[in-house]
Structure 1
Amino acid sequence: MRIKLLAAGLGLAAFAAFGAKAAEPSTADQLIAVDKAFEAYVAEHGVAQGFKSYMDPKDGLEFAGGEPKRGAEAIFQAEGGDKPPTSKLTWTPTEAFASKSGDMGVTWGRWTETPNDTTKKPFTGRYVTVWRKDAEGHWKGLIDIGTPD
């Protein structure tokens, strides 16, 4: 009886381990999730703080007109730093691609910037963000490029 229970227990453990492995999101799904989390963070904390938190502290590059800004702190300052935001930025990722090694990937989608001044019209565009896992395994933006429509 003990052998049957042991065999049944091992079978259930193997099934549970296989099921847990199969349920892990793909790297592309992880990238979509981190991009959505980035957008939600920006909605709550503002563009400057969002970029400071999600871009690579040293290597992150933002291409948003003019010379690219390098590093999370430089991007934070370029996006207004601690000043109150003058607009609201939202975006939706459309698709993600991931490296076979699972440590780099790309998301792209559409963005909308809505000025706080209601006499001004919102404007829209497309973006591409290149992501890289840092030493702790967190996704950080390496390159962010936004182009208006």
Structure 2
Amino acid sequence: MTRALMGLAALSLCLSATSTQAQNRGPARGYANPSAVVAAEIAFAKLAQEKGQWTAFRATATKDAIMFVPQIVAAQAWLKGKADPARTVTWQPHQVWSSCDGSLAVTRGAWQGENDTAGYFTTVWQQQKDGRYKWVVDMGEPLPMALDAPEMINAKVADCPPGYRGKPPKASKAPAAPLDPFKRGGKSLDGTLAWDVAVETDGARRFVVAMASAGQMVTVQDLQVEAPAK
């Protein structure tokens, strides 16, 4: 997918850190690996070009992933049976933020569609038990002008908790909360990266991402989306 292929040369240094283990069995758990998240983005993008846009979304989403239409919906239910468009949207990741333990990461970048439409996207990636990444939140919005591609992806990793030694904390076995169409949030297993979204009844929403830095949680994204025109 162009999202992945465009600017690939600029990403080569970042992607060179992706090990054979990450490619074949998934990256090691318990450590941040932004290049593995970028690799997941590229694989997602390539799959969309080869198999179809919504087919790729279904294949790479977690069971409890959400999207915005504009209220929060369960992605797998919304995507079920949805026909792939004739032309797949293309996109390129520009930034990635990762928790210290690598259990959660957020990407941001640019997309391009038909008739010279363009915009930005933000995706939350969750590491699975096998070490691979699947997306748990996906949102994209149009912009009046296309975003310029950076020379290289900007990757940032959250500060680790005091005394952290690379053992991934155990995931909670508590049952998932019922889907609320107006509010949702999540965080990494070590608590160093978190996201929160609130959607108004008119479809306007605010999406915030925060990461641990210098002893506190610092906001790295605060996206405010206007209600769709009626």
- What is residue 117 of structure 2 aligned with on the other side? 123
Structure 1 residue 76 corresponds to structure 2 residue 82: no
Question: 1:31-110 maps to which residues of 2 (within 5 A)?
Answer: 31-57=37-63, 59-63=64-68, 65-71=69-75, 73-77=76-80, 81=82, 83-110=83-110
Instruction: Please report how far the alpha carbon of residue 86 of structure 1 lies from its aligned counterpart in structure 2 after TM superposition.
Output: 3.7
Letter in 2 for 1:74: A
Letter in 2 for 1:62: M
Matches of 2:50 and 2:39 in 1, distance apart? 17
Q: Deviations over 1:11-65 (max 9, x none)?
A: xxxxxxxxxxxx85461111111111111111111111111011112x21112x3
Q: Quick check: which has more Rg, 1 or 2?
A: 1
Instruction: Please report how far the alpha carbon of residue 84 of structure 1 lies from its aligned counterpart in structure 2 after TM superposition.
Output: 4.7
Please tell me whether the aligned partners of residues 128 and 134 of structure 2 are also in contact (alpha carbons under 8 angstroms). yes
Runs of 4+ in structure 1 displaced over 4 angstroms?
A: none
Letter in 1 for 2:51: H
Matches of 1:106 and 1:50 in 2, distance apart? 18
Letter in 1 for 2:95: E
Please tell me whether the aligned partners of residues 95 and 109 of structure 1 are also in contact (alpha carbons under 8 angstroms). yes
**In structure 1, the residue corresponding to 2:118 is in which secondary structure?**
strand
Please tell me whether the aligned partners of residues 126 and 148 of structure 1 are also in contact (alpha carbons under 8 angstroms). yes
Letter in 1 for 2:124: V
Matches of 1:70 and 1:148 in 2, distance apart? 22
Q: Deviations over 1:57-99 (max 9, x none)?
A: 2x21112x3222214x22423xx62x35243211000011110
Matches of 1:85 and 1:99 in 2, distance apart? 34
Matches of 1:90 and 1:146 in 2, distance apart? 12
Letter in 2 for 1:66: P
Letter in 2 for 1:122: D
Q: Percent identity?
A: 25
TM-score norm. by structure 2 comes to: 0.46
Instruction: Please report how far the alpha carbon of residue 135 of structure 1 lies from its aligned counterpart in structure 2 after TM superposition.
Output: 2.1
Letter in 1 for 2:98: A
Q: CA RMSD in A?
A: 1.9
Please tell me whether the aligned partners of residues 54 and 84 of structure 2 are also in contact (alpha carbons under 8 angstroms). no
**In structure 2, the residue corresponding to 1:88 is in which secondary structure?**
coil
List runs of 5+ in structure 2 lacking aligned partners: 1-15, 19-31, 144-230
**In structure 1, the residue corresponding to 2:35 is in which secondary structure?**
helix
TM-score norm. by structure 1 comes to: 0.69
